[in-house]
Amino acid sequence: MCNLGEAIEENALRKGRSQGRKEGLSLGRREGKSAGKKEGQKIGRAERLVQNVEAAMKSFHLDLRTACEGLGSSLKEYEQAKKLLKG
């Protein structure tokens, strides 16, 4: 049979584990929200770049490179944004 000291120690360990799980879940949620927000902003910037470049090409009858340059972007940035949106 357990003595009182062992029972108290076991109860303290159980409470500590429970508190640790709660803190870990809370931290994980905060980090997940932050990462999700950053990813959403990245996708939003990509969508805006692609839309702006394609609108400039259509409205001003420009080729892709000229449209990108006119908007202060590079062809590589446009291609990366387009790839991000497809994937």
Specify the pLDDT at position 87.
81
Specify the pLDDT at position 4.
82
Question: Where does the pLDDT of residue 2 fall: very low under 50, low under 70, confident under 90, or very high at 90 and above?
Answer: low
pTM for this structure? 0.73
Instruction: Tell me if 68 sits within 8 A of 53, measured CB to CB.
Output: yes
The per-residue pLDDT for range 9-62, each reduced to its tens digit, is 898 899 999 999 999 999 999 999 999 999 999 999 999 999 999 999 999 999
CA torsion through residues 61, 66, 72, 73, sign? positive
